Amino acid sequence: MTADWTSAIDRARAHAPFLANALDRLPAVTELLAAGDGPAALSLARSAGDGVADTASALRREKQALSLALAIGDLAGAFPLLDVTGQLSAFADRALDAAIVAGIRRRVPDYDPADPKGFFALALGKHGAGELNYSSDIDPILLFEPEVLPRRQRDEPGEAAQRVARAVVEILSHMGHEGYVFRVDLRLRPASEVSPLAIPVAGALSHYESSALTWERAAFIRARSCAGDIAAGEAFLTAIRPFVWRRSLDFGAIAEIGRLTAQIRASTVGKDGRGASEVGPGFDLKKGRGGIREIEFYAQTHQLIHGGRHPALRLRGTRATLDALAGAGLIPADEARLLGDSYDRLRTIEHRLQMVHDQQTHSLPKSAEAIDEVARLDGLADGQALLAELSAITEAVGERYDTLIMANTPTGAVSVAVPDQATLPENLAELGFADPAAVARRIEGWLGGGVRALRSEAARTAFAAIRHDLLAALAAAPEPERALARWEQLLGNLPSAINLFNLLQARPALIEMLARILGLAPPLADALARRADLLDPLIDASAFDLPGSVDVLVAELTRFEAGDDYERKLDAVRRKVGEMRFKLGVQLIEGVNDPVDVGHALARIAEAALVVLTDASVEEFRAAHGQVPDSEMLVLGLGRMGGGVLTHASDLDLVYLFSGDFRMESDGRRPLGATHYYNRLSQRAISALSVATAQGALFEVDTRLRPSGEQGPPAASLESFETYQREQAWTWEHMALCRGRPLYGSPQGRAALAQVVQAVLTAPRDPARLRADVLEMRAKMAQHKPQGGPLDVKLMRGGLVDLEFIVHFIQLRERGPGLDPDLGQAVRQLTAAGLLPAALAEAHDALTRLLVAGRLLAPDAQLPGPAARLALVRACGYGDWDALETGLAQARRHVAAAWAGAFDETLEIDP
């Protein structure tokens, strides 16, 4: 669209008295605008206060000139909406900063604004988002740090801060012959009805950590440190980040926003019951149904729910937030466009209203003639055209906002009657519980104070809203009594359950899934008992997708937040990994992905976590001890970790090594010799993976396969590792090395380690001695670690351990073919080389499926109940339990046949 400066000026003179007056009073700016030189006009406007000693007067002059230049450029179509609002917001920042400096200098004349300290302003609302109107109030929060606030020696810090705050309000708000700068509204500060104008940082932190309300969380979505000691303001916002961005999904926030919406809509209704609630004279573009506020609430509601888990949604701008929500798949793209376009148009019309008389208004005029003036200022034919356009916009927005609130607000959010306890046993009997009276007594115990999470009235009300559906799902669960007991355990572990109840009511399908989890998978039920927010990711459309590559997962796990220290990074990784593993467990229960694929995914997650946490450990360690020149830490994975297929119960078999000269010393402020350095660093890296933090434990780490054994130091040099493997290692250690895979280190370091492993595995061996060692070791293992149950597919004869022994024996005997750490791939390669029977690949997959699924559904390796059997059948791809047993027996026979072919002896398999 080509800018039309002449038309803009003509419309401004004809329909906007404020702009017409400004055009006459500011001829230099007007001349540049008439010439179509918008950038020059803006530059001149920003300098309008230069050389004026009085801060307030200088700011007023700049405000007048800037408002004129931006208004005409806006009307001409030369300045996009976000440029206009961004310029106004930047001026508000400058004005606040100048007012703070002037306020401090009234008592401390030598205060240096180049080194601001002790007092700062947070911008909220449209100012924080960089979306200020032409005639907006600003709603800052003024905070100070008593210890560093500039003041006279005899001044008490609190009173000195109040003087500065009063000066800020006076400088910006006072109406003089040149107008005013900004109306300043400080009512968004904590406890504004009783608190001073400027709040000490410690007091504000205490408020937001303990007693702030949902609307205050919404306000801080767009908060920004904008003036004064900006660094201190940013540190404050970092400190209250957990208050704004909660880790768990918070559907209760929707109920709060729904109530606020109802209040706002009610306040716009006139005495006749209609009035400003419908598009027409007096309609409020900001607060009316389908107006600006509802689009902002739409975006902020999604941010409050999902922003704690999706940092990419923590944006201040409304349009940018809508686009981000669509990009994350949380709202439809066409809905984001419609709401975004509607927002821009409503904001533009709002600006037109304010340009007329420089009034902070959001409402259409009451007379048809005045509406015509606004429409023609905008370039429309008349007021009817404007009303028709606004009616279409607000109806479309209102429908979508109503859908959001109604679809996600618990139906009993305002008032839910608690069901009559006298009828509870009858209800439970109707649902199918075997002993309804006993279950009723348990529920009465929960509600009678026996469960902490249900002691508040709000919690009991939220629970009442889901109770029937929850009990129905538990009654219909595969094993109702077990599901009920685990629900009770989960409930007892929660300090608060309101968010969980609201989530289950907002997403009823989760209730049935929760019941299946509690009834079928003890490990997942235990995880939920520790962290109920593990249910949150299941509402995502990608919940049943397998995770991406290790590189993709590393990128996801390293999305740390600004200011995160080492401990917070550990917590963040544990939280995200826990969610990923939980989702994979649910996929097994639901039978949506092959357990072999799930096993590979679990290994990718573990590898990504190892990389991220080891990186964090290295960074933390280097800060104190520096680096060992020409050296690095390497990590070798063995066992299932090396093979790239884990179960939910797998530990990580790891060997920590380091390259370079062990005689070197690190170059940090606290230098260490290389061996000491890497032993301490590896201990830290192991702890990062295994030690429980506030988010729980992550993995069990087993380093017993290191060259020095269980009692020796945790790390060895690559050179000593190679020497040990060549000269001292036992046959079983070389068998373990067949599944060795470098997991951590530079590409060059991992390549060097892989070369060492390859050289050891392809070294010449005496086949007879190798055979004798392998058979002796398997016999000892069978004696000391017998089969643990009928589903112990790992240790049972003809199971996975026997298959591994066969494969590793042939890999070492043949010195080359099939040397792949992935056992499944190794089997296939040896089969292709004619060294193993073709049926062994199918046997491997069948056993692995049962191992991965069984660790979740039958963790004790005993035959599970009927429901868990059906889940195992479904997960492993069989038609029924008989087919699964037949498949298991057949796989074991294939392994026994391969054993006989490899070792020339019979493998006895119990039926």
HEC string of 122-136 equals: EECHHHHHCCCCCCC
pLDDT above 80 (res 603):
yes
pLDDT above 60 (res 818):
yes
Measured CA to CA in angstroms, residue 649 lies from 147, 327, 520, 599, 645 at distances of 52, 35, 16, 11, 12
pLDDT in tens, 56-95: 999 999 999 999 999 999 999 999 999 999 999 999 999 9
DSSP 670: S
Band of pLDDT at residue 267, cut at 50, 70 and 90: low
By the 8 A CB rule, do 418 and 466 touch? Answer: no
Helix, strand and coil in the chain, % to nearest 5: 60, 5, 35
Band of pLDDT at residue 268, cut at 50, 70 and 90: low
Q: What are phi and psi of 887, to 5 degrees?
A: -65, -40
Which is higher by pLDDT, 551 or 496?
A: 551
Band of pLDDT at residue 271, cut at 50, 70 and 90: very low
Average of pLDDT values for 836-853? 97
Do strands 119-123 and 141-144 pair parallel, antiparallel, or not at all (unpaired)?
antiparallel
pLDDT (0 to 100) of residue 496: 79
% residues pLDDT > 90 (the chain)? 67
Q: How far apart are CA 675 and CA 681, in angstroms?
A: 10
Do strands 741-744 and 633-638 pair parallel, antiparallel, or not at all (unpaired)?
antiparallel
Among 340-349, 473-482, 899-908, the range scoring the smallest mean pLDDT is: 473-482
Average of pLDDT values for 461-471? 89
Print burial letters for 193-210: b (CB count within 10 Å at least 16), e (below 16).
eeebbbbbbeebbebbee
Which residues touch 263 (CB under 8 Å, ≥6 apart)? none
Among 58-62, 119-123, 192-196, the range scoring the smallest mean pLDDT is: 192-196
pLDDT in tens, 793-815: 999 999 999 999 999 999 999 99
Give the residue carrying structure tokens 């900001």.
286
H-only helix segments in 522-594: 522-530, 550-557, 566-590
Which is higher by pLDDT, 485 or 337?
A: 337
Q: How far apart are CA 823 and CA 745, in angstroms?
A: 23
Band of pLDDT at residue 414, cut at 50, 70 and 90: very low
Helix (H, G, I), strand (E, B) or coil at 257: helix
Which residues touch 175 (CB under 8 Å, ≥6 apart)? none
Print burial letters for 360-395: b (CB count within 10 Å at least 16), e (below 16).
ebbbbbeeeebbbbbbbbbebeebeebbebbeebbe
Which is higher by pLDDT, 685 or 482?
A: 685
- Closest of 37, 704, 78, 14 to residue 375, by C-alpha: 14
Among 281-285, 492-496, 730-734, the range scoring the smallest mean pLDDT is: 492-496
pLDDT (0 to 100) of residue 452: 85
pLDDT above 90 (res 756):
yes
Mean pLDDT highest for which of 193-197, 237-241, 481-485, 655-659? 655-659
pLDDT (0 to 100) of residue 64: 94
pLDDT above 80 (res 265):
no
By the 8 A CB rule, do 873 and 879 touch? Answer: yes
Q: How far apart are CA 476 and CA 627, in angstroms?
A: 59
Q: How far apart are CA 182 and CA 817, in angstroms?
A: 78
Measured CA to CA in angstroms, residue 689 lies from 362, 697, 738 at distances of 55, 8, 24
pLDDT in tens, 691-748: 887 677 799 999 988 887 777 789 999 999 999 999 999 999 999 999 999 999 999 9
Q: How far apart are CA 300 and CA 294, in angstroms?
A: 10
Per-position DSSP letters for 204-231, written without gaps between them: HHHHHHHT--HHHHHHHTT-EEEEESHH
By the 8 A CB rule, do 678 and 633 touch? Answer: yes
By the 8 A CB rule, do 85 and 348 touch? Answer: no
Band of pLDDT at residue 519, cut at 50, 70 and 90: confident
pLDDT in tens, 881-897: 999 999 999 999 999 99
Q: How far apart are CA 128 and CA 897, in angstroms?
A: 72
Measured CA to CA in angstroms, residue 358 lies from 49, 205, 355 at distances of 20, 37, 5
Q: What are phi and psi of 209, to 5 degrees?
A: -85, -15
Query: Both tokens of residue 219?
Result: 């306000």
Among 4-8, 179-183, 425-429, the range scoring the smallest mean pLDDT is: 425-429
Q: How far apart are CA 611 and CA 788, in angstroms?
A: 34
pLDDT (0 to 100) of residue 254: 66
HEC string of 55-123 equals: HHHHHHHHHHHHHHHHHHHHHHCCCCHHHHHHHHHHHHHHHHHHHHHHHHHCCCCCCCCCCCCCEEEEE
Which is higher by pLDDT, 393 or 258?
A: 393
pLDDT (0 to 100) of residue 197: 95
Which is higher by pLDDT, 654 or 476?
A: 654
By the 8 A CB rule, do 629 and 668 touch? Answer: no
Q: How far apart are CA 85 and CA 131, in angstroms?
A: 4
Q: What is the mean pLDDT of the chain?
A: 90
Average of pLDDT values for 240-254? 76
Label residue 211 exposed, middle or buried (CB < 10 Å: 0-12, 13-18, 19+): exposed
| pTM for this model (two decimals) | 0.74
Among 405-419, 468-482, 485-499, 613-627, the range scoring the smallest mean pLDDT is: 405-419
pLDDT above 70 (res 266):
no
pLDDT (0 to 100) of residue 825: 97
pLDDT (0 to 100) of residue 176: 80
Average of pLDDT values for 138-153? 94
By the 8 A CB rule, do 480 and 433 touch? Answer: yes
pLDDT (0 to 100) of residue 503: 84
pLDDT (0 to 100) of residue 275: 42
Do strands 633-638 and 652-658 pair parallel, antiparallel, or not at all (unpaired)?
antiparallel
DSSP 450: I
Q: What are phi and psi of 865, to 5 degrees?
A: -70, 170
